A and B are shown apart, each in its own frame.
Chain A
Amino acid sequence: MFDTFLLESIINGILLGGVLALLALGLNLVFGVIDVVWICYAELVMIGMYTIWWLFVFYGLPLPVAIGAGIAVVALLGVLLHILVIQPVLGTAPINQLLVTGGVLFFLQAAATLVFGIEFRNLGVRMPVVEFGDMFFSFARILAFATALVGVLLLWLFLTRSYLGTAIRAISQDREIMPLMGVDPRRIYLITSAIGGGMAGVAASLLVLQYDVHPAIGLSFGPITFMVCVMGGLGNMLGGFVAAFVFAQFISVGGYFFQIEWGYVIAFAFFIAMMFIRPKGLFSR
């Protein structure tokens, strides 16, 4: 007999994959170009969520304006992160880069606690319910899924069809040679950081429609986002995009057939197995 609940779980897994793919996009871009892992990436998303909440609820700005401002703020944060934190340790041991961005993670968590308190904040926006047959889907998730698709497409067009995008790809392929050919890597790094931050802002604008924001929300998404990126091959945007959907299906369908915890266990077991089989990720370059 046809199981509509299973079909619903599969589709919800695809929609969850959209959320994870969106989160992975910016992180992969930054790693692919600058070769630095922003451990504090989920905390940048958190700052974006707070910014949108603050402007929409506290200042009463229209939601699209608040979202636009939120994306801009996180893009700017990405630039500041690069100038103030990453740039001084570029060229040093990778562990230093991990540690400084890890420090920023705790700094942002503590700063958010001091500024916004420990309350759980939300926009208070009720999203419509999408009902199809006997199945139900989250409108916010559909929105996130569509945005992830559009985001990947736009990023791909930018990277392949524009001069700047070509320069970014060139730097990511050989950061020693390109400066000799007239490309200013510092400028490329700043632009990449701004785009990476902007992508975190886009993710924030969609997560804030689905989740309460609080200083520790990064704990819910940070580890999974990294696992998705590593599974797809750190720096490989297409790999991360596909890995997000694979990971989400394990969580959703695994959680449907077994206990919900088992969905995560299966996903993590698959991740560990893949690290043995393909240590550089499913789609390593």
Chain B
Amino acid sequence: MVAHLTRRGLIGTAGALPFAGGALAQQREIKIGVIYDYTGPFAGGGSLAAAIGTKHAIEMINERGGVEGHRINAIFADAQSRTEVAINEATRLMEQERVDLLMGVFSSAHCVPLAQRVNAQRRFMWANVCVASSVFKDRNLEYVFRAQVHSDQFGEASCQFIADVSQERLRKRPADVRVAIIYEDGPYGAGVAAGNEAKARQLGMRIVLKEGYAATAPDLSSLVTKLRRERPDVILHTGYNPDITLFLRQSRELGLRWSALIGHGAGYGQIDRLKQTFGNDADYIFNVDPVAAQLLNPASLRPGLGDITAEMVRRYRAETNATEVPPHTSMGFNQTWIFLTDVLPRAIRNHGGFTPDALRQAALATDIPEGGTIQGYGVRFFPAGTPMAGQNERSSPVVMQYVGGETKIVWPAAIKTAEPVIPLPAGHAYAAR
């Protein structure tokens, strides 16, 4: 457990309350339980970056006086990259710490059962990073909301991108492009892969291999051998870490080549780490993710959001010494910022406080247009009774590419900052010979 306030501190604060007198008004607080993976493999796969983004958003809000006179008291909990720990921590936060709501959650494997459980208890949960569509699909959740992009959109974006550029860049019609879909077999990987498959079939692409594997598998050589046998032009990969680095390493050793490798977030969102591990071999990898906010032109966003992004980047770099700020930081920050600056104030002002029902009503009334968040997309939630109730219907991912250690937006065309490099240049370690 990573607690922002110690138990002794809380007890001390409670003891001092009777004597606080006139200062009581300033000490009203909203307790938010924030769950991320601070240890275990998910931590380095993006969870820690997202957690830092969330923490900085909360700090900035408190520095500005909190929300409608309420200080945000965040209690951070470590899910340790294990589903049962995530569930136990959620239970502890709700029943012992008595938080007003839950927030965060990196892994879809944690998010699916957590969302069900929290909703069944009629408590409120704001999911920040997990993407699996299955968190919401056909579950009719009433108290769980997610402004984040969902996995079906990840899967569709990569296929649509390939379809858009295949004729010009690969000299092939989309129907002639050989696509392989590989994924870690949890809800996240399986969800994105399902989106990949549906969209690829819709576009008439040739799926030469679709295969899942356990993220902790110690060996992927037989998968690599099969990929070599099937000779895909494009590999659509969804994984965490360390499976992504194992795949890239074994692919190089076992002679796998491709025209394009498209990752879908998680480990592929960590360009600093990929660069550190693979050097120039990490160049030209594509990544589908909600955009890292600092890559967007601030002029395309609501006035003031550019400054907030700049402050997010400044704080992240100051804390981590990183050169590149990963998309996960934006996800953690953006979702928290949306909740604290839009949903929560409305709940307090218009619905009488921050009970689960007040928060639910405020969330359902959310109407942020495109350009109204630091990641560009707008926010409006699918209402109850619809198949994706609770999911943001205005979210959208982008396709990015790593070139020379920097991240470029290459799709959609309206906001791209560079032309995609596809196929891989001759001489690249993974370029087809």
- A residues near B, CB below 8 A? 5, 8-9, 12-13, 16, 19, 110, 113, 118-120, 122, 124, 127, 129, 131, 136-140, 210-212, 214-217, 219-221, 224, 251-256, 259-261, 263-264
Contacts and interface: CB of A to CB of B under 8 A. Distances in A.
B225 A8 contact: yes
Interface of A is mostly: helix
A5 B48 contact: no
Contacts of B370: none
Given A120-B242, A139-B253, A5 B225 contact: yes
Contacts of B3: none
B242 A212 contact: yes
B81 interface: yes
Contacts, number: 110
A131 B252 CA distance: 11
Contact of A252 (B216, B221, B249): B221
Given A5-B229, A260-B213, A136 B253 contact: yes
B276 A124 contact: yes
Contacts of B254: 8, 12, 136-138
Given A120-B245, A137-B253, A251-B222, 5 more contacts: A118-B48, A136-B253, A138-B253, A214-B41, A216-B41
A264 B221 contact: no
B246 interface: yes
Contact of B242 (A9, A138, A214): A214
Given A217-B242, A261-B213, A9 B223 contact: no
A285 to B, nearest CB: 28
B211 A219 contact: no
5 contacts: A9-B225, A120-B273, A136-B253, A211-B218, A215-B39
Contacts of B250: 138
B418 interface: no
A122 B241 CA distance: 13
A124 B216 CA distance: 21
B192 to A, nearest CB: 17
A129 B225 contact: no
A5 B211 contact: no
A260 B222 contact: yes
Given A9-B222, A260-B220, A210 B249 contact: yes
Contacts of A139: 253
Contacts of A5: 225-226, 228-229
A264 B222 contact: no
A183 to B, nearest CB: 38
B279 interface: yes
B99 interface: no
B39 to A, nearest CB: 5
A118 B106 CA distance: 15
Contacts of A118: 38-40, 43-44, 48
B416 to A, nearest CB: 30
Given A16-B219, A136-B253, A216-B81, A256 B41 contact: no
Interface in B35-85: 38-41, 43-44, 48, 81
Nearest to A252: B222
Contacts of B43: 118
B38 to A, nearest CB: 7
Contacts of B246: 211-212
Contact of B222 (A136, A224, A255): A255
B26 interface: no
A252 B249 CA distance: 17
A255 B39 CA distance: 31
B425 interface: no
A12 B225 contact: yes
A136 B255 contact: yes
A264 B217 contact: yes
A127 B219 CA distance: 17
Contact of A211 (B48, B185, B212, B242): B242
Contacts of B41: 214, 216, 219
A260 B217 contact: yes
A124 B277 contact: yes
B245 A212 contact: yes
Contacts of A19: 218
Nearest to A7: B225
The listed residue with most A CB atoms (<10 A of its CB), out of B211, B249, B276, B279, is: B249
B20 interface: no
B101 to A, nearest CB: 26
B218 A221 contact: yes
Contacts of B223: 255, 260
Contacts of B213: 260-261
